[in-house]
Amino acid sequence: MKKSFVIYVLSDSVGDTAEQVARAAAEQYKNTDYEIKKYPYVESVVKIDNIIDNVDVKNSIFVYTIVNQEISEYLKKVCDQKNITYIDIMAPSLDKFSSFLNQEPLRESGVIRKLDENYFKRVEAVEFAVKYDDGKDPRGILKADIVLIGVSRSSKTPLSMYLAHKNYKVVNIPIVTGSKVPDQLFEVPRKKIIGLMIDPSDLIEIRRERIKVLGLDNSVDYVSIEKIYEELEYAQKIMKKLGCPVIDMTKKAVEEAANLVIDIINDLN
């Protein structure tokens, strides 16, 4: 004859961890039939009382991940009083970590959820940077947290990707001599736009390395010093017209430049 029982999963977060552990354990036993009832965001003793009032104590087991000490202790107390079997999943782990690290836990609920939210925000920012890289779609300017503008090989793309990993949605727009910049640049707050400049001698070396990779020769305008001076002068005019902050990328690592961008954005907010 099958043993039927109910697993009550309680958590002060979403409860997925407790549910997975409970299900994995329950599946190890033959001739059983169980139901899982999950109660996320258990953050008060009143909610615990409401749950326990409807429990069949003989055929129920409580599995929970509640890091708030007051609520966790209350749940244990009530379960002991009503003779309800319970498993505190977090307690053994927290005890071992506390002993190992020689410090007390934060007892803050939803930490994993916050980490997950941060992860998905970062993924979204990276996808945004890829989608709107190198001026592919200027409509992204209106949605971006940061807009980088500069001539070719001024580190717009690597800087965009690095900032994306810091959860910023970044668009980068190339400035090409004689070409009109997107109208959207004049529709967003100037504080969102960062101009990137670079020393001509550095830029020509970077571009020469680039055309080697592409299998081109040094005769193209792309590595002409006259052309580079012209491009940088034009870019400077555009940046001045926009009234945006400008960063000199000469000899700067992407990490250093990213910190400067973030500082500028934060100072202007």
201 is in an annotated binding site: no
Q: What tokens does 24 get? A: 């994995």
224 is in an annotated binding site: no
Q: What tokens does 44 get? A: 């008060």
Provide the terminal-to-terminal Cα distance of the chain, rounded to the nearest Å.
68
63-77 CB burial, b ≥16 within 10 A, e <16: bbbbbbeebbebbbe
Q: Is 183 in contact with 160 (CB distance < 8 Å)? A: no
155 is in an annotated binding site: yes
Report how far residue 156's alpha carbon sits from residue 150's, in angstroms, rounded to the nearest whole number. 7
Residue 64: strand pairing partners: 10, 88
Dihedral angle, C-alpha 105, 107, 112, 115, nearest 10 °? -80
250 is in an annotated binding site: no
143 is in an annotated binding site: no
98 is in an annotated binding site: no
135 is in an annotated binding site: no
60 is in an annotated binding site: no
Report how far residue 52's alpha carbon sits from residue 227's, in angstroms, rounded to the nearest whole number. 77
Dihedral angle, C-alpha 24, 30, 34, 36, nearest 10 °? 0
User: Where is the binding site for ADP, in residues?
Assistant: 150-157
User: Where is the binding site, in residues?
Assistant: 150-157
